Amino acid sequence: MPADSPLAGLRVLEFGQIAAGPFAGSLLADLGADVVKVERSPAGDGMRQWPPLIDAPTSDGGRFSGNFASVNKGKRSIAVDLKDETDRREVLDLVGSADVLLENFRPGVMDRLGFGYDELSQLNPGLVYCSISGYGQAGPQARDGAFDVTVQAVSGLMSVTGEPGGEPVKCGVPVGDFTAGLYAAVTILAVLERRRRTGVGGRIDCSMLGTLLGISALQTSEYFGTGVDPRRLGSAHPRNAPYKAFRGADRSFVVAAGNDDLWRRFCGVVDAQALVGDARFLTQELRARHQDELEDLLVPILASRPAGAWLRALTDAGVPCAPINTFSEALASDQVVSMGLVRPLVLPNGAETSTVVFPVSISGHSPEATTPPLLGEHNDEVRKEWVDGIRH
């Protein structure tokens, strides 16, 4: 990364596996941090075996996981056995010069290995030590196994996901893992800022359960305010209508007439001006309360024309709307292309694929699609730079 990247010079040791920890580390790497991934020898991060496994252009180049690459771009890898005393001492040497340690083992594992916060903070008082777990470091469920779907379930998120009257479903994107990663990265930067002022690092306990409740602010506040559990609404909104997916003559699309002005414009487009004066639909609150009745009136109207025709007419009228894209359609869309979010990525085996780069634009910083590491590729290099370089 260029020396003027936002996090240039920041050293991060990532004891991450699968998704939450590696995603947090990838965000820091995207912003210029030197993220060294500490992997178990000889297997490495289990995500290295996840498909799609992309073949090298030559027969002897092997295969490399596209899933692994997506959350490990721009990192370096060392392969160690933390139960081996020599390897353990070498990693402790790296801890001494690290700014951040990021891990997502079950609570207690790092302590048993001799890499818990209490021990490492004695070695490096400025260390920012971030633990990501399913349920946090303490409490009756702390040591329970956690995967994205189990935490989506226990957090309440699945209870509001799915069609009314249907079974709960998980979100199609692993929001438990990736939300925890986002919160972890933000909190790491906050504690680093505090360290800048005080010289002292700190411990971060980032749970998937807590962070999913954090992003459920509208649902939890609804419960606190009414005493009633929010319910599944499919693509609809509890406080707005029409604000959901409708079926055109050929495919579904989304409309979000999210205020009174947009409601009037919407009615003009669909030639239903009489609904503007209907007592059931006079305000946003009333439209949300009577949205089942409103849907019954709108469904046959919107089914009369293809989705594309409605999308053009609604867009011309200034009403927010959108096609329901597949990922192939989204990635190839004019807007995504104009934002430069998709870049070529060369894998360590020489295969070429594509990736989505850091999606937030920062003046003076250009996001890169940097090759992910082979397992243990940087053992010697990292020690030379992080440890031997300090001693000279």
Active site residue 278: no
Write out the H or E segment, with its range, that includes residue 211: helix 208-215
Q: Tell whether the torsion through CA atoms of 111, 116, 118 and 122 is positive or negative.
A: positive
Q: 258: alpha, beta or left, given left = phi > 0 and alpha = psi -120 to 50?
A: alpha
Tell me which of 81, 118, 177, 316 is the catalytic residue.
Answer: 177
Q: Pick from 342, 311, 312, 338: which is nearest to 328 by CA?
A: 342
C-alpha triplet 207, 130, 6: angle, nearest 5°:
115
- Token reading at 216: 């459920």
Please state, in angstroms and as integers, the Cα–Cα distance from residue 257 to each residue in 274, 298, 322, following that order. 16, 13, 12
Cα–Cα dist 133/143, whole Å: 9
- DSSP helix/strand/coil, 190: helix
Neighbours of 111 (CB within 10 A): 14
Please state, in angstroms and as integers, the Cα–Cα distance from residue 14 to each residue in 28, 78, 100, 104, 178, following that order. 11, 10, 8, 9, 16
Q: Which residues are catalytic?
A: 177
